[in-house]
A and B are shown apart, each in its own frame.
Chain A
């Protein structure tokens, strides 16, 4: 039985947790002095040793990313926090920044110090007003307390931190598109190479990390690399916030070591809603292929979920019970990708346009079984052919749902339309309602 390990969420229930006073009362900003006593490279080494891997979905080792910054490059270095949390199902960074923005600010200071950046940015999606308020306030408080600005804690280290609100574009979660947005441009991904570590923001060496990754850094500095590496699985170290949503009794944030299973998490969350059972789920947002109840015991770490045919992603566990029509769910996600496709590359731009039309017809019971092969072929022509991962992500729900639920697609054809009652799957449906 895996137990929960609240670290990042540990102070969320504190009185006025978002304030500097509350944060410092629990030892906040102590990691700064510990870090400043170390050489920047030593801080990078600690993060490397901890095995922290990017919490934004891709799982790239954070310390290694920092080590890619060419310190002999005379241009300024930048740290950019990716707080553009927009992947459907993902809802961990927003509550973190709302409840404890100082955890992130402290992480920014330590991380920026490590990569020798004197300017850092938090690119936060614009549609979360109160989160932005809390970040703005936290940064202001940190400046006033001497945690930001010139000669921080007498270390001689300077750092400016700018909170930058986005304006509505899922694609800006892609790190190079985010940089475009931060440079005041259309959020379309950039060609790589050059990678941001070499030529990122303003063509300068830039590290872009997810909120949760950066927020994890102070605890690693405070508690040690071994402490962090001691949690989780062999290659997926540490803890992470698991976000349960959908037809589970107690949806919410569950911070646990990587490797916990969905079965364990559903148990903690009080089980599926009464009278219903799990039908399909996403392990890490809509861009990760759907899994089914047969995957309930897959350890939720990067390797195991990958081996099960999906991706750990952002640990955005969207749970759907048997009242949910998978075709409807997949069509809606596909419409999302079509809406969010930046337009830069052909396969994603045109492919999502076509996919939605094919799926919409299928959902209405039109078309034929051959359309399933057409869908799979379209996906084949998008996956790995697009400019960035958005196009790949768009194919995940389609390919995986046809793999697991081919019969349900066909049922739409034989039924002449959707056989499900959408009312039965709502949160406000009467107990016991069924499709």
Chain B
């Protein structure tokens, strides 16, 4: 068993956040990924043990959700949205370009272990299409060139920022946040990107507001 006592304690801590322990399973699997780099058999067994359910049940959950990975993920998970709108707006070309540039296929990791490339579904940033996610941070309004620049910077160890978020952390660090153990980056980045403010900007310009409230 490769899981350390601290992780085990944290798994219990997650389960204890909820009125019923099993609710902790999704964040627990995120924590497993942050420690193990993927959902490992040990991770499945430990989750089953902590929750008092069968490993088959944990396996059923771990294989249902696409964020859980069975093969090791690189330091940076690069997800190119190829759902219709992003695909049409250039996502398909970006994805093709990155595959070629990184010499990997979908859901594969570069030889240096830095980048795992995957095409992803709509990530709720359509007004910034085409969108790319790095470790589930928004990289808005990409072009094939900008996407290549991002992965090159990441592989070279240069600091990269989300276009409307913080400095990028590693995939494992991201998974830890998803497990409910916040890092200190909440205050980085703006409140909103330009597209989010498009309507508000017009309203401000034109002096439009919602009606006055009742007393």
A129 adjacent to chain B (CB < 8 Å): yes
Complex-state Cα separation, A223 to B194, whole angstroms:
28
Q: Is the CB of B18 within 8 A of A245?
A: no
CB distance from B75 to the nearest CB of A (A): 15
Set of chain A residues within 8 Å of B144, measured between Cβ atoms:
428
Docked complex: B176-201 residues within 8 A CB-CB of A: 177-180, 182-183, 185-187, 189, 191-201
Whether A18 touches B191, Cβ cut-off 8 Å, given contacts A252-B197, A422-B93, A426-B89, is: yes
Of the candidates A89, A185, A423, which one forms a contact with B126 in the assembled complex, judged by CB atoms under 8 Å apart? A89
Of the candidates A95, A224, A318, A422, which one forms a contact with B213 in the assembled complex, judged by CB atoms under 8 Å apart? A224
Residue of B nearest to A220 (CB): B213
Q: Is the CB of A9 within 8 A of B199?
A: yes
Of the candidates A90, A132, A184, A328, which one forms a contact with B23 in the assembled complex, judged by CB atoms under 8 Å apart? A184
Q: Is the CB of B137 within 8 A of A130?
A: yes
B5 adjacent to chain A (CB < 8 Å): no
Set of chain A residues within 8 Å of B141, measured between Cβ atoms:
427
CB distance from B10 to the nearest CB of A (A): 15
Whether A94 touches B125, Cβ cut-off 8 Å, given contacts A16-B191, A164-B27, is: yes
A39 adjacent to chain B (CB < 8 Å): no
Say which size band chain B's interface belongs to: 35 or more
Set of chain B residues within 8 Å of A404, measured between Cβ atoms:
none
Set of chain B residues within 8 Å of A252, measured between Cβ atoms:
127, 194-199
Q: Is the CB of A427 within 8 A of B200?
A: no
Docked complex: A112-156 residues within 8 A CB-CB of B: 119, 125-130, 132-134, 136-137, 140
Complex-state Cα separation, A36 to B48, whole angstroms:
42
B1 adjacent to chain A (CB < 8 Å): no
Q: Is the CB of B65 within 8 A of A169?
A: yes
Of the candidates A14, A127, A251, which one forms a contact with B191 in the assembled complex, judged by CB atoms under 8 Å apart? A14
Q: Is the CB of A329 within 8 A of B186?
A: no
B143 adjacent to chain A (CB < 8 Å): yes
Set of chain A residues within 8 Å of B22, measured between Cβ atoms:
183-185
Q: Is the CB of A164 within 8 A of B23?
A: yes
A226 adjacent to chain B (CB < 8 Å): yes
B135 adjacent to chain A (CB < 8 Å): yes
Set of chain B residues within 8 Å of A170, measured between Cβ atoms:
121
Set of chain A residues within 8 Å of B61, measured between Cβ atoms:
184-186
Set of chain A residues within 8 Å of B178, measured between Cβ atoms:
126, 129, 132, 165, 167
Q: Is the CB of A251 within 8 A of B126?
A: yes
Set of chain A residues within 8 Å of B197, measured between Cβ atoms:
9, 12-13, 252-253
Set of chain A residues within 8 Å of B191, measured between Cβ atoms:
12-14, 16-18, 98-100
The stretch among B77-85, B109-117, B151-159 that forms the contact with chain A is B77-85
Q: Is the CB of B68 within 8 A of A253?
A: no
CB distance from B12 to the nearest CB of A (A): 14
Q: Is the CB of A183 within 8 A of B23?
A: yes
CB distance from A75 to the nearest CB of B (A): 11
Q: Is the CB of B186 within 8 A of A336?
A: no
Set of chain A residues within 8 Å of B125, measured between Cβ atoms:
91, 94
Set of chain A residues within 8 Å of B9, measured between Cβ atoms:
none
Q: 6 closest pairs, A vs B, by CB? A: A252-B198, A223-B213, A184-B25, A224-B214, A254-B199, A167-B65
With A94-B125, A168-B68, A342-B64 given, can you name 8 additional A-B contacts, CB distance below 8 Å?
A4-B208, A10-B210, A91-B127, A136-B182, A242-B199, A252-B197, A332-B84, A428-B143
11 A–B contacts from the bound complex (CB under 8 Å): A5-B211, A13-B200, A127-B123, A127-B136, A129-B135, A133-B186, A137-B187, A168-B67, A253-B195, A336-B84, A428-B143
Instruction: Name B's A-contacting residues (CB within 8 A).
Output: 17-20, 22-27, 29-30, 51, 60-61, 64-68, 79, 82-85, 87-90, 92-93, 120-130, 133, 135-138, 141, 143-144, 162, 164-166, 174, 177-180, 182-183, 185-187, 189, 191-204, 206, 208-215
Instruction: Name A's B-contacting residues (CB within 8 A).
Output: 3-7, 9-10, 12-14, 16-19, 76, 85-91, 93-95, 98-100, 119, 125-130, 132-134, 136-137, 140, 162-170, 181-187, 202, 219, 222-224, 226-227, 230-231, 239, 242-247, 250-256, 268-269, 286, 316, 318, 320, 324, 328-329, 332-333, 336, 339-340, 342, 422-423, 425-428
